Amino acid sequence: MIFNPAARGEKARHFRDQLAGLSTRVELKPTYAPGTGRPLAAEAVRAGFETIIAAGGDGTLNEVLNGIGDEPDGFQRVRLGILPLGTINVFARELRLPTTFPAAWAVLEQGRERILDLPQVEFQREGRPERRYFAQLAGAGLDSRAIELVNWEHKKLVGPLAYVVAGFKALAEQKSQITITAGQARHTGELVLIGNGRYYGGNFELFPQANLQDGLLDITIFPKVNWEILLRSGWGWLTDQIHQAAGCHTLQAESFVLAAPEGKVPVEVDGENIGHLPATFSVRRQTLRVVAP
């Protein structure tokens, strides 16, 4: 089990109270800095563990996922378990995992396994090719810029509201034009959101046709992002007509490319920025073994 011992909040505190009991049943690996979950997961694969549990939020989950992927045949050798302790836990919501500790732990004890698609994104960092896997979602444009602007000390105090504040700051800035190319289809917009599952940012069903096992990624393109579109989107979410209200384009694809002329647009996966456009997205079908209801 890979977990953040410094995580705050009631769920994290309750989890720490359970550690003494769990220590006789699982090997506990604390993370003490961002990014350390990934090598810990890779080490666990090499050590021969068959189940690796990510205890935290979507960021911890993503680190563990990529650590498994760093090892040859890691996804065949290891299955992923999840204890949702983070702020939003979108992938856990997608899997209908319980949010209370005893119920979530009971799911892990039952050990039922599902095999899901595994999305990935390839990009360049300082001239070197990189690949990152993600479980639930990705994006470029307003949302990735908002993540850049988040005040992390503020986030510790107010939780998801910190993203809202950062989003308002990003909304006031000049937007870059992002081009998506998927086969013969080509669209341009100021915000592109990509879903492996249906949910984005919590319980917002932004990708209603998405399926974790269909071999496709779902893409929503916002041609413009401004205050008017924001208000329309809010009304659209309330009426289950967000795509029509915001004038979005939607499509599904096995692979596609995102690019921006400035080359400075950040890319986020599972709520964490990883690099900048251009980037190529694709999906590995029926690859990720997950313990889920």
Q: What is the CATH number of domain 2-86?
A: 3.40.50.10330
Q: Which fold has domain 120-286?
A: Tumour Suppressor Smad4 (2.60.200)
> Which tokens belong to 82?
């999840």
Does residue 192 have a pLDDT over 90? yes
φ, ψ dihedrals at 91, nearest 5°: -65, -40
Q: Which residues contact 292 (CB under 8 A, 6 or more apart)?
A: 82, 95, 96, 97, 107, 112, 113, 114
Whole-number Å distance between alpha carbons of 82 and 70: 19
Q: At what angle do helices 58-69 and 37-46 cross, to 10 degrees?
A: 40
pTM reported for the whole predicted model? 0.89
User: Is-contact 64 182, C-beta < 8 A?
Assistant: no
Whole-number Å distance between alpha carbons of 201 and 191: 15
Look up residue 244 and give its DSSP letter: H
Whole-number Å distance between alpha carbons of 230 and 224: 10
- Stretch(es) of the chain classified as CATH 2.60.200.40: 120-286
> Which tokens belong to 28?
């506990």
**Using one digit for the tens of pLDDT, what is the confidence trace for 220-262?**
999 888 766 666 555 455 456 666 656 688 999 999 999 998 7
User: Is-contact 31 12, C-beta < 8 A?
Assistant: no
Q: How confident is the model at residue 61 (pLDDT cuts 50, 70, 90)?
A: very high
- Residue 227, helix vs strand vs coil: helix
Whole-number Å distance between alpha carbons of 117 and 15: 29
Per-residue model confidence (pLDDT) at position 71: 97
Whole-number Å distance between alpha carbons of 109 and 183: 43
Our measurement of the distance from residue 270's CA atom to the centroid of its chain's CA atoms, rounded to an integer in Å, reads: 2
Residue 41: count of CB within 10 angstroms of its CB: 28
**Using one digit for the tens of pLDDT, what is the confidence trace for 116-172?**
999 999 999 888 999 999 999 999 988 888 887 776 665 666 666 666 776 777 776
Does residue 86 have a pLDDT over 90? no
